Structure 1
């Protein structure tokens, strides 16, 4: 008769077989918060909280426990991601308002009205907030007063076919240049000082852009991905890694990532754009990625709203979270906490504890 194993030995064997060995789950739900309306704006991450807006004009600063720090109501939808610079958050609405709020207590510092709808996420530096209008017009406002610093008219009708009901890709700042994507007019690099055109580059059907160092990367629905010098627009490379792409590029973990059809996450070499690998996805990726440690956080746009934690080298997901709402804006990470904003206006958050591979 075999000797009877002690209870501790049995427990240890079970843990080894199941692979959990007493560790916590890689993602533990922290909270779910409803903004009481759908949202397409996206979130801004702060050191201890996030800021977001929704379709009824609410702007909320939410702490890491899911409690509102403050809430402000505008008359019309906040459809574009706000921007934060210093101790101010700047918000735009579809009614053409642009307002600066104190980050600590939401006190209004200035407000501009009577402008075109704000549909594209705002960007800012230490002196100005930059607004890309739905018709392709660009303007810069002083951060401290809201005063108009410069305005550039939209491209001529023969240069671009822009649908004013659709948001244009988020502008990118770097090297004293504001890069905007203007539909069929392609990419345009503008001086942040006065709005003068520094360079142009054709890119039909653009999806979005990102910057790493002095290089601008951009993707298009047609399957093209390009790299340009952000200061002068000089091309560095162009590739077509797929017949159709679905997302803006993301530079993360030393690699360039972009969503493709059929649903796949492509890894590209930042130096020459050549395809390195592909990871199958359950649904299309339409937004940029976030990163936690050595993990890629991938939000998908189906009704199930799956969010995946993937290793950059491939393999099965470290975790898969279901939100039951499409995820069409980037997730954000604050410390060891993940936040996502669903299309239905819910903010969901998880605490991440992912061991190294």
Structure 2
């Protein structure tokens, strides 16, 4: 079995199989000195935030992304537990043990809650109780999308399948046509814009008819380059920056682009080296390069508006754009508030010292962060 060195928390799998390739937690060519995290700089607090609750859950895993919906937070643990928490108080609404380890995090419309096991079972719950399960043909790393009384699944082999959310009946299956040998074991892109299902297929955004699976449009964000399988990886990764019908997405270690999902047209793309998702507002798209350099691109043109090196090598998550700030989690359990306007440090919050598993979330007016060690922390920014 070949060994492949990939960045921290990234894994690769064969596109057509479920056998994991060995991975090394290493940053491929940088020296230890160069990878030292940037020190935590002093700052003047300009965006106060008060911690309002904390909950300890079983240890989570970086691939199991939490989700917020209708005032509740849904968190899945790699060991198979799924929890719903009240976003205002942290109170447990329900908890269910699936009985199998999970490979993909939670998707929900507030009624049906969907997760996927490592044995390729799609499991759908209602009010914390099992409703149905269905066997899938391939590994899944992207949380299912639950919308319009359907459950949509993007598999690791790049196929998309739709199920009836109430009965579990398979409605349609759009087979993969990509022949790449490797895919990223990391959550990809699966969302809805209006009446179009949008999926990240390799380096492309593809719009599908949610009723039939028929393609409506296809937009390339990045094209494979390089001479080996690793260099040619261009999978689109979560989190997605959305403003109205515009989706801005990152292609792993290669590009950033914005697409008009109503028309199925590319607005712009830029060569950018990064491995986690982005967020967007009316003015900018925000993301971090692989070395932790934070950048803001103008949403209409893709030109760089500002950049900041104060969080270099801190293992950043995707950002959350909220209020005056962009909020970034890091590998030491900190949340950093940077100004949307120029990247100035506005505040810093601490958790339990373990990495944040995803971008911070907003549950109504509550800011929530979930750590690798299972800590769920909530604050109310002033």
Number of equivalent positions: 324
> Within the alignment, does 1:296 sit opposite 2:326 as a pair?
yes
Q: In the alignment, what sits opposite 1:138? A: 160
Question: Equivalents in 1 of 2:53, 2:254: separation in Å?
Answer: 38
* Match of residue 300, structure 2, among 271, 283, 297: 271
| TM-score w.r.t. length of structure 2 | 0.76
Which of the two has greater helix per residue?
Answer: 1
Work out whether residues 179 and 188 of structure 1, in 8 Å CA contact, stay in contact via their aligned partners in 2.
Answer: yes
> In the TM superposition, what are the counterparts of 1:154-303 in structure 2 within 5 Å?
154-157=176-179, 160-163=180-183, 166-183=185-202, 186-202=204-220, 203-204=222-223, 205-208=234-237, 209-240=240-271, 242=272, 244-252=273-281, 254-280=283-309, 281-284=311-314, 287-300=317-330, 302=331
Q: In the alignment, what sits opposite 1:55? A: 78
Structure possessing the higher radius of gyration over alpha carbons = 1
| 1:155 positional shift | 1.8
Work out whether residues 222 and 245 of structure 1, in 8 Å CA contact, stay in contact via their aligned partners in 2.
Answer: yes
Q: In the alignment, what sits opposite 2:103? A: 79
Question: Equivalents in 2 of 1:332, 1:50: separation in Å?
Answer: 9
SS of residue matched to 2:103 = coil
Question: Equivalents in 2 of 1:282, 1:190: separation in Å?
Answer: 38
Which of the two has greater strand per residue?
Answer: 2
| 1:24 positional shift | 11
Q: In the alignment, what sits opposite 2:7? A: none
| 1:271 positional shift | 0.7
Q: In the alignment, what sits opposite 2:29? A: none
Q: 1:24 to 1:207 in 2, by over 3 A?
A: closer
Q: In the alignment, what sits opposite 1:9? A: none
SS of residue matched to 1:317 = strand
Q: In the alignment, what sits opposite 1:13? A: none
Work out whether residues 243 and 281 of structure 2, in 8 Å CA contact, stay in contact via their aligned partners in 1.
Answer: no
What stretches of structure 2 of length at least 5 have no aligned partner? 1-43, 224-233
Q: In the alignment, what sits opposite 2:49? A: 26
| 1:29 positional shift | 6.0
Q: 1:285 to 1:229 in 2, by over 3 A?
A: farther
* Match of residue 306, structure 1, among 325, 330, 334: 334
Work out whether residues 219 and 249 of structure 1, in 8 Å CA contact, stay in contact via their aligned partners in 2.
Answer: yes
Q: Which has the higher contact order (CA 8 A, sep 6+)?
A: 2
> In the TM superposition, what are the counterparts of 1:95-110 in structure 2 within 5 Å?
95-103=119-127, 106-110=128-132
Q: In the alignment, what sits opposite 2:94? A: 70
| 1:156 positional shift | 4.3
1:145-174 superposed Cα distances (whole Å, 9 cap, x missing partner)? 2211100112242xx3333x7135121221
Q: 1:147 to 1:248 in 2, by over 3 A?
A: same
Question: Equivalents in 1 of 2:136, 2:109: separation in Å?
Answer: 23
| TM-score w.r.t. length of structure 1 | 0.80
Using the TM superposition, name which of 111-120 and 129-138 deviates more: 111-120
Question: Equivalents in 2 of 1:226, 1:25: separation in Å?
Answer: 33
* Match of residue 122, structure 1, among 140, 144, 148: 144
| 1:223 positional shift | 4.4
Q: 1:353 to 1:258 in 2, by over 3 A?
A: closer
Question: Equivalents in 2 of 1:143, 1:219: separation in Å?
Answer: 29
Runs of 4+ in 1 over 6 A off after TM superposition: none
Q: In the alignment, what sits opposite 2:363? A: 334
RMSD: 2.8
